[in-house]
Amino acid sequence: MAIGTIMIANRGEIAVRIIRAARKLGCRTVQVYSAADRDMLAVRLADQAVEIGPAKPSKSYLNIEAVLRAAQQTGADAIHPGYGFLAENPAFAAAVEADGRIFIGPQAATIRMMGDKAAARAAAIRAGVPVVPGSDGVVNPAEALAVAARIGFPIMIKAAAGGGGRGIRIAQTPDELATLFPQAGAEARAAFGDDSLYLERFVGRARHIEVQVLGDGHAAVHLFERECSLQRRRQKVWEEAPASALPPPVRSALCASAVRLAEACQYRGAGTLEYLYDDESGGFFFIEMNTRIQVEHPVTEMITGIDLVEEMIRIAAGERLRLTQHDIVCRGHAIEVRINAEDAARQFAPSPGTVSGLVVPGGFGVRFDSFLYAGYTVPPFYDSLLGKLIVWDATREGALARMRGALDELKVEGIATTIPMHTILSKDPAVVAGQVHTRWLEAWLETAELQAAASKGEVA
């Protein structure tokens, strides 16, 4: 390994995850942290920890100068950005390389191209990957109306620099398009500093399918697909691998298209290509690429036995892919649920506070990726994700049963979490049958069943 010390420019569970992978490879670790994160588990686990600023992300985790200064002070050879914060910031990747350090991720040019959704769409078209009918790049209001007239309503207005569901609106008519277009632009400008927009036809009952890839800048392989259709406000809450709804020929074509696009953009590291799958037509359409490790990467690790973070580090150190496509085999079924500090029965109100008690489930096929410990105080300044409960079994039915048992065992005391919601979801007939789509969960959250559970105190 050409990397001796890795600095983690992130927080929470992904920071702990990276530290553990680095430790296995014999790398020393440095954890940066904000003033609000002094007691974070990653700070305790790392070989060295450096405070880089106050709680506000713009003054700490998003402060490129502060992060680089910490790397210089500690002699870090490489920086792993995790997900979120600076992970998909091409300026950060370029600054790390310019500072003589290794960015554990793609090259800045790749992040820039694939992070611009309009540019990524154009790259997909060049690589022969199917895309949702839409505009050829960024459009202005007049061009948007012309595109909508050509491809038909409903239309999805999307931020070119978007992510996390921000800068998106759905228009049913030309009048709605004229009204919603500037709204989407204003939201995109506030969230990303860029109000560029493009259009796609809206696929109403689509499934969200994504393909995990690894590339070394020359060759690429896929590690099969995940289904992430259970979403709230376009934020994923439950993920599975593989996607049980896909017929084998569609799975093969989908995964092959992802490898084709990854190789076309000379992708380096772990990345995810996201698609919409239309159950009725059997068609799939590329929508975007995440040029980083994903929150839901553990389900892919569970079905393939491959440590994605370790492979990222090895590739960044200059190693070529250690795996051929033939080496990668899908075994069994894995499910992940995101455990957030939120009260699902009360409009997902945030629930920061002190964890007074913690019981972590165990046993064969059970994994809990988290940064919690009893006595830890969850700060109110960041994303509410506390951890991910992941299970594996030979069949989907077995994985669902194992998930129900693990959810019963998992106890996070002192704060409200989404554990009770997942317990109810895991028994829902539609979820058990795999009959869901990207709009299913939001309708389910309004059902009498969830509200009745709340009134009985079963959801807190």
8 A C-beta contact, residue 5 and residue 78? yes
pLDDT at 116: 87
Residue 382 has pLDDT above 70, yes or no: yes
Q: Which residue has the tokens 């290509």?
A: 273
Q: Point out the catalytic residue in the list 232, 251, 268, 292.
A: 292
Rounded CA gap, 114 and 273, in Å? 10
Residue type at 440?
Answer: W
Instruction: Summarize the confidence of residues 400-407 as an average pLDDT.
Output: 98
8 A C-beta contact, residue 194 and residue 159? yes
Q: Which of 178, 181, 179 is nearest to 168 (CA)?
A: 181
Q: Is 292 a catalytic residue?
A: yes
pLDDT digits (tens, 9 = 90+) for 434-446: 999 999 999 999 8
Rounded CA gap, 68 and 213, in Å? 28
8 A C-beta contact, residue 132 and residue 264? no
Lowest-pLDDT choice from 129-138, 306-315, 347-356: 129-138
Pick the CATH number of 206-455 from 3.30.2130.10, 3.30.470.20, 3.20.20.210, 1.10.10.60: 3.30.470.20
Pick the CATH number of 5-104 from 3.40.640.10, 1.10.150.120, 3.40.50.1820, 3.40.50.20: 3.40.50.20
Q: Which of 111, 104, 107, 106 is nearest to 317 (CA)?
A: 104
Per-domain boundaries in the chain:
5-104, 133-201, 206-455
Q: Which residue has the tokens 């945030």?
A: 350
Instruction: Summarize the confidence of residues 381-408 as an average pLDDT.
Output: 98
Residue type at 357?
Answer: G
Residue 235 has pLDDT above 50, yes or no: yes
Q: How far is CA 437 from the centre of its chain?
A: 18
Rounded CA gap, 256 and 221, in Å? 9
Q: How confident is the model at residue 460 (pLDDT cuts 50, 70, 90)?
A: very low
Q: Which residue has the tokens 């997942």?
A: 422
pLDDT digits (tens, 9 = 90+) for 172-201: 999 999 999 999 999 998 888 899 999 988
8 A C-beta contact, residue 305 and residue 284? no
Residue 2 has pLDDT above 90, yes or no: no
Pick the CATH number of 133-201 from 3.30.1490.20, 3.40.640.10, 3.80.30.20, 3.40.50.970: 3.30.1490.20
Rounded CA gap, 407 and 423, in Å? 6
Q: Which of 89, 229, 78 is nearest to 161 (CA)?
A: 89
8 A C-beta contact, residue 171 and residue 219? no
Break the chain down into helix, strand, coil percent, rounded to 5: 35, 25, 35
Q: pTM (2 decimals)?
A: 0.90
